[in-house]
Amino acid sequence: MISRSLKEGIRGVGRHWAMSIYSAAAVTITLFIVSLFLVLTFHLQRFTKNFESEVKISVMIGYDYEHEDVEAGIKKQIEAIDGVKSVEYKTKDEEFQFYLDQFEDERTRKLFEPFGEDNPLHDAFYVETNDGSEIQTIAGEIEKIEGVDSVNYGGQSTVDMISAMEAVRKFGAVLVIGLTILAVFLIQNTINLTIRARRDEITIMRNVGATNRFIRAPFLWEGILTGIIGSILPVGLSIYAYFLLYQKTGGILISNMFKLAPPQPYAYYLGGVLLAGGILVGLLGSLLSINKLLRWKR
């Protein structure tokens, strides 16, 4: 049964080869763009995650607060805020030592050491959040706590960068949805043509007792095959291009924060997703056509 319907499906693709090529080309273009946005989105997410995990809120405590108050009061209040993952406390002496440790050069360290006697730094908390997008809100909440002198989280630029990444993702999603609809529509039209060309045959099939499944199966194959044909180029080129990109960049873009995922297995997953996407688009196109033209009710 499968071999018969598959054969008929292949014949269907050949019967309207020009239309089949248009439809497959639409799938190809769509999948190329999907591929681009999949790579982009996946890595943006990866970069954002890296970025977010690096970003911490620094909370400076006012000079007039005693250590006991800080530990007992402010820390608990910060921890009670929704979305706070961890809170690390550092005294102003620890802060000063950390500052000094930044200098590798002994002479420079010696130059700054005298400032430790009248340490100008604050006691501070370093707050990690569960979700980078909540940084701004959580910082605002912390700022309201009594005893907090100032709050710093990299400021607006952090939030702007995260929201810019979001915007790119959303634009990509809209474009992909639009192109997918176009590809589905083209496949549907191609299969409509095949069904119309085989109308007499379908009537005869019904007369002699063919089940609906038997009649529909070849058209489903035709859609799936068109989807597969359309996926060949995007799948092949995406895998090749990703390996090449990884090889040429050594897997790192600009800095360590922007690391590409290793091509094995990522490139193959990408190929698999694209192929599945092509099949799904083809299947959807043929289902729409079949449900419109081959619905048989007494």
Partner 1 sequence: MIECTHVYKRYKNGTNALYDINCSVDQGEFVYIIGPTGSGKSTLIKLLDGEETPTKGAVRVVGINVGKLRSSQVPIYRRNIGVVFQDYRLLPTKTVFENISYALEVINMKRKQIRKRTEQVMEIVGLNEKGNAFPRELSGGQQQRVAIARAIANRPKVLIADEPTGNLDPGKSDEIMELLEKINQTYGTTILMVTHDLMLVNKYRRRTIVLENGHIVADLPEGGYVRHDQ
Phi and psi, residue 240, nearest 5°: -60, -50
Nearer to partner 1, 86 or 212 (CB): 212
DSSP SS3 for 297 = coil
Does 2 interact with partner 1 (rule: CB under 8 A)? Answer: no
The angle subtended at Cα 79 by Cα 77 and Cα 84, nearest 5°, is 130
Does 254 interact with partner 1 (rule: CB under 8 A)? Answer: no
Q: In what order do the strands lie in the sheet with 124-129?
A: 84-90, 124-129, 57-61, 148-152
Does 298 interact with partner 1 (rule: CB under 8 A)? Answer: yes
Q: Taking contact as CB under 8 A, which single stretch among the options 121-129, 148-156, 206-214, 261-269 is the one that binds partner 1? A: 206-214
Near partner 1 by CB under 8 A: residue from 66, 88, 146, 201: 201
Does 1 interact with partner 1 (rule: CB under 8 A)? Answer: yes
Does 210 interact with partner 1 (rule: CB under 8 A)? Answer: yes
Nearer to partner 1, 11 or 46 (CB): 11
| H-helix or E-strand spanning residue 69 | helix 67-69
- Pairing of the two strands 124-129 and 148-152: unpaired
Does 214 interact with partner 1 (rule: CB under 8 A)? Answer: yes
Nearer to partner 1, 109 or 206 (CB): 206
Near partner 1 by CB under 8 A: residue from 97, 150, 152, 211: 211
Residue whose tokens read 């102003």: 92
Does 15 interact with partner 1 (rule: CB under 8 A)? Answer: no
> What minimum distance in Å lies between the beta carbon of 171 and partner 1?
45
DSSP 114: G
Near partner 1 by CB under 8 A: residue from 72, 174, 177, 204: 204
Does 208 interact with partner 1 (rule: CB under 8 A)? Answer: yes
Does 4 interact with partner 1 (rule: CB under 8 A)? Answer: yes
- Both tokens of residue 251? 């897997």
Between CA 123 and CA 67 the distance in angstroms is 8
> What minimum distance in Å lies between the beta carbon of 8 and partner 1?
11
- ω into 265 cis (within 30 of 0): yes
Does 197 interact with partner 1 (rule: CB under 8 A)? Answer: no
DSSP SS3 for 146 = coil
Would you call 213 exposed, middle or buried from its count of C-beta atoms within 10 A (0-12, 13-18, 19+)? exposed
Residues that bind partner 1 (CB under 8 A): 1, 4, 200-201, 203-212, 214, 296-298
